[in-house]
Structure 1
């Protein structure tokens, strides 16, 4: 069993384009979405002031899981492959397509991403964003070695 849990999300960003039609084409429901010019708000809806300077959406691609990150990305790529033209068009017009991985470690761990997996992502113009979350440390490393000089 893996010594971590992970969740993969799809982030779409674009300087001007409304991303809702892209989500509908992909057949995916955004968890968070805004478009350029929308008022800035907190996730709970409180106004922050100002306007959004670009469009953004985040789509959860599955629950947090102990499956390998590579396996979760492979499953996401299979879902997105039929829509490669849409993803490439978004990228070619200034947008970004990103797999965002929330990676929650129980202890020291890691994973290797094969060149085939990275190439499949590159063919769809998908970047990779890793957010690493470590367990709370009981005691910082080396704290027991306090010098008395």
Structure 2
């Protein structure tokens, strides 16, 4: 049985396009947005130096929760999201062509083990790449001794 949990957000950044346009195009209300030129702040509201150089738009597919791989494998989850987002392929390509970035930001958490693995079939990798979506994997191994 898989021994990990994960969470996935769709993150988009762009040097010119406003977050409202992204939301309208995708018909999704984001969980986080930052406008170009706004002061940088931490999630708890502490002011950082500088301002945002790009629009940032983020939608959390998991609503702040971790998905157990025993419920759905990561690779199946991504394949499902690729299918849902396929109708936006041209928009994602336009974002990339004009200096933007589109990615799945993945938090990957071990469960009582530091041995985690996922197996991404070429079809899943291809459909992700075909949508011009990058994968960003951020692993959080368990600190338990084995």
The residue aligned with 1:125 is 132
For the pair 1:113 / 2:120, whether they are aligned, the reply is yes
Give 2:106's aligned residue: 101
Larger of the two Rg values belongs to structure? 1
User: Which residue is 2:53 aligned to?
Assistant: 53
Structure 1 vs Structure 2 CA RMSD: 1.6
For residues 117 and 18 of structure 1, the distance between their equivalents in structure 2, rounded to whole angstroms, comes to 30
Q: Residues 18-57 of structure 1 correspond to what in structure 2 (within 5 A)?
A: 18-57=18-57
Report deviation, 1:9.
0.9
Q: Could you tell me how far 1:137 is from its partner in structure 2?
A: 3.2
For 2:77, what is the secondary structure of its paired residue? Answer: helix
After TM superposition, give the deviation of residue 116 of structure 1 in Å: 0.8
| Residue 138 of structure 1: how far off its partner (Å) | 3.5
Displacement of 1:41: 1.3
51-60 vs 94-103, which moves further: 51-60
Q: TM-score, normalised by structure 1?
A: 0.85
Would the aligned equivalents of 1:17 and 1:36 in 2 still touch at CA under 8 Å?
no
Q: How many residues align?
A: 139
